[in-house]
Amino acid sequence: MGYVGHQQALEVVLDGLRRLEYRGYDSAGVSVLGNDGLQVERKAGKLANLEELLSGRDLPGTLAIGHTRWATHGPPTDANAHPHVDCAGRVAVVHNGTIENFELLVAGLQERGHQRRSDTDTEVVAHLVEERYDGDLPATVRSICKDLEGSFVLVISHADEPGLIVAARRNLPLVIGLGDGENFVGSDVTAFIAHTREARAVEQDQVVEVRREGVTVTDLDGSVVQGPSYHVDWDTEAAEKGGYEFFMLKEMDEQPAAVRETLGGRLTAEGLLHLDELSMSDEDVRGIEQVFIVACGSAYHSGLIGKYAIERWARIPVQVEMASEFRYRDPVLGRNTLVIAVSQSGETADTLEAVRHARSQRAWVLAVTNTVGSTISRESDAAFYTRGGPEVAVASTKAVMTQITAMYVVGLYLAQLRGTRDADEVRAHMRDLQSIPDLVQELLDRMEPVRELARDLKDEPRVLFLGRHVGYPMALEGALKLKELAYVSAEGFPAGEIKHGPIALVEQGVPVVVLAPRHALQAKLVNNVQEVRARGARTIVIATDGDESVTPYADHVIKIPDTKSLLTPLLMLVPMQVLSAEVARARGLDVDQPRNLAKSVTVE
Ligand code: F6R
């Protein structure tokens, strides 16, 4: 958040950060620009820690910027908290997002004598401003933005420009608050809604100059861009959710951006994968004899997809196990075993215990997590961060999608290093993955018929989900979502298994969701659809655009865009998320906080 106006800026910014707390964070900081120059204070942990640090201190000034950080580069420490400053302490920068080419930029800055004081990607921006500033901060920021790769919202102040904040955005949200003799920028309108309800959205690759008297927006070439302002009439609660009724709906819509973040910065200039996070020597990677994936709930389903990806591409045998069962059966592990622990929170007790057990057996443990500095990431040998951003709703949506994306990246990396896929194949698969965010967006934009269907299903006591191959774990995930959100008795099965028992559950009118995107086993799935339909099931079939082979046997067809069959889980997820959220909503349930559940399960 940034503020410039007539009030004491520290209070305004702290209040804004308090209102942004719902987004989740692990450290906080502010910088105030006043008569005493630029003063910066930062603290790991909750905002209360920062407030305690500031208590009794006077930081006078009418311009301030502030930030709550969700760690992506470096653990959540005081030193990694924002704002970051340049060598001379005259530039302060806060940042959301990931600067993908920061290592290259750091190398150049260090060569030119700059001192790096944090592990963050953000700090490079402060040093670049220091180096390039020539009395025109907006022009400096525009020139820097042209050299940055990745996603960012930057908010910057400079001791030589006492009345000016400069902000910039690419791929992540930034909003301007237009006040009377005061102006604001924030990640969303909640930051300033207590002061003004007039807002303007900042578009892609725009730079904003915020002064007390007014705001100017330019493109990266410096041409002024006009844009409409709008009146915000949400109450604070609605504003926190970005106008959505529930966080889950907002987080579902954040999935394209989240997948982009997971994929960002993983490729070399030659289009090959680098995964330094794995911290294993190439020789050790080649020596891996088996992989175990341990996780709970939805993360376990992501792990199941990991099995298909790693076995297919890297040709290493993979076992996926619920973390709560793993250590109790004394699995055979050893030096040549890679254990992948998948956990959004990084705090799930069962998964943590599985990690501890694996390490005690001398296996190499890689955590795949969304939470930098979490216990699981600290206790593992290495960590791959999914960078999905904080997830507030209890039900996992963007976390699952980014975990599955991470599984593909790990699978391809292992394949690349072990030579089971050549460079061209790895590149082609990465290109397919990179097209996923646009396809997810396209799908999200056409979900109204699924919501309608969900409302129609709201009184059904039981729903079955069937899938084959990668559709099977997604059938489990679809059933879990419907259970936990709508309290519907839902079960997922491999479609080939139903004739061995579950088909006895099918009777007149029972809804059966069949995941049947185009792939090699589709003809068999068509048979399964016919089997359940012949016994009275109401069939809801998820199929690929342009494929009509299942249509004759479907009571409802939900189409998803075409992609490689191994990647279809990322698309199958969307209609199933929409379906469960809407059934829950239609039943009048709390979509974000289902009964008996917690976001982070820290007991065994
Ligand atoms: C389901 C859900 C849970 C979590 C599980 C693991 O929507 O959210 O099943 O996936 O509790 O949590 P993490 O990933 O934090 O270890």
For residue 397, the CA-to-ligand 1 centroid distance in Å is: 10
Distance 342 CA to ligand 1 centre (A): 9
Q: How far is the CA of 296 from the centre of ligand 1 (A)?
A: 6
Report the chain (604 residues): mean pLDDT per 10 consecutive residues: 97 93 86 95 95 92 96 90 97 94 95 96 97 97 96 96 96 91 92 92 94 98 93 73 89 95 89 87 94 98 98 98 92 96 93 96 96 86 91 94 98 96 95 97 98 97 96 98 97 94 94 91 86 95 93 94 97 98 97 83 68
Contact 575, 443 (CB under 8 A): yes
In angstroms, rounded to a whole number, what is the distance separating the alpha carbons of residues 257 and 437?
Answer: 7
348 CB near ligand 1 (under 6 Å): yes
| Best probe residue, ligand 1, of 601, 602, 604 (max atoms within 8 Å of C-beta) | 601
**Can you point out the beta strands (E) in 212-336?**
215-219, 230-231, 290-295, 318-322
Residue nearest ligand 1's atom 9 by CA: 297
Supply the pLDDT for residue 603: 67
**DSSP helix, strand, coil percent of the chain (3-state; round to 5):** 40, 25, 35
Q: Is the CB of 479 under 6 A from ligand 1?
A: no
Instruction: Please state, in angstroms and as integers, the Cα–Cα distance from residue 392 to each residue in 19, 347, 402, following that order.
Output: 15, 15, 15
What pLDDT is recorded for position 484?
96
Q: Would you say the CB of residue 403 lies under 6 angstroms from ligand 1?
A: no
pLDDT tens readout for residues 429-466: 999 999 999 999 999 999 999 999 999 999 999 999 99
CB 351 near ligand 1, within 6 Å: yes
- Residue 343: CB within 6 Å of ligand 1? yes
594 touches ligand 1 (CB under 6 Å) = no
Ligand 1 atom nearest the C-alpha of 300 is 10
Nearest-angstrom CA–CA distance, 11 and 195:
12
Q: Report whether residue 485 contacts ligand 1, using a CB cutoff of 6 Å.
A: no
For residue 403, which atom of ligand 1 is closest to its CA?
14
Written as six digits, the tokens of 443 are: 């799908």
Cα–Cα distance, 81 to 66 (Å, whole number): 10
Any ligand 1 atom below 6 A from CB of 580: no
| CB of 193 sitting under 6 A from ligand 1 | no
What is the whole-number distance in angstroms between the Cα of residue 298 and the centre of ligand 1? 5
The confidence score (pLDDT) of residue 602 equals: 66
CA of 102 to the centre of ligand 1 (A): 32
Distance from Cα 515 to the centre of ligand 1, integer Å = 22
Residue 601 CA, closest ligand 1 atom number? 11
**Any ligand 1 atom below 6 A from CB of 298:** yes
Q: Using the 8-state DSSP alphabet, how is residue 225 labeled?
A: -
- Is any ligand 1 atom within 6 A of the Cβ of residue 572? no
Which pLDDT score, from 0 to 100, does residue 391 have?
85
585 C-alpha vs ligand 1 centroid, how far in Å? 21
CA 78 to chain centre: 23
Tell me what pLDDT residue 230 has.
Answer: 86
Interval between CA 351 and ligand 1 midpoint (Å): 10
Q: What is the C-alpha separation between 262 and 277, in angstroms, rounded? A: 13
Q: Give yes or no for residue 395 CB within 6 A of ligand 1.
A: yes
Concatenating the DSSP letter of every residue in 34-77 gives ETTEEEEEEEES-HHHHHHHHTT-----SEEEEEEE--SSS-S-
Ligand 1 atom closest to the CA of 345, numbered from 1: 15
> Helices marked H in 328-435 — which ranges?
349-360, 375-379, 398-418, 423-434
Whether the CB of 601 sits within 6 Å of ligand 1: yes
The verdict on the CB of residue 341 being under 6 Å from ligand 1 is no
CA of 261 to the centre of ligand 1 (A): 20
CA of residue 393 to ligand 1 center, whole Å: 11
**306 to each of 39, 294, 411, 413, how far by Cα in Å?**
47, 11, 7, 12
Rounded to the nearest angstrom, the distance between the alpha carbon of 396 and the centre of ligand 1 is 6
* Of 458, 459, 463, 471, the residue nearest 497 (C-alpha): 471
pLDDT of residue 166: 98
Q: Which residue is listed with tokens 């006895």?
A: 504
Cα end-to-end span (Å), the chain: 39
- Residue of 345, 375, 603 best suited for mutating to test ligand 1, as the one with most atoms within 8 Å of CB: 345
**Per-residue pLDDT tens over the stretch 590-599:** 999 888 887 7
Mutation pick for ligand 1 pocket among 246, 320, 342, 348 (CB with most ligand atoms within 8 Å) = 348
- Measured distance CA(489)–CA(486) in Å, rounded: 9
Q: Which atom of ligand 1 is the closest one to the Cα of 599? A: 8
297 lines ligand 1 (CB under 6 A): yes
Output the CA 295–ligand 1 centroid distance in Å: 8
Q: Is 591 in the pocket of ligand 1 (CB under 6 A)?
A: no
The pTM assigned to this predicted structure is: 0.80
Instruction: Name 460's Cβ contacts closer than 8 Å, sequence gap at least 6.
Output: 488, 510, 511
- Residues 604 and 602: their CA atoms lie apart, in Å, by 7
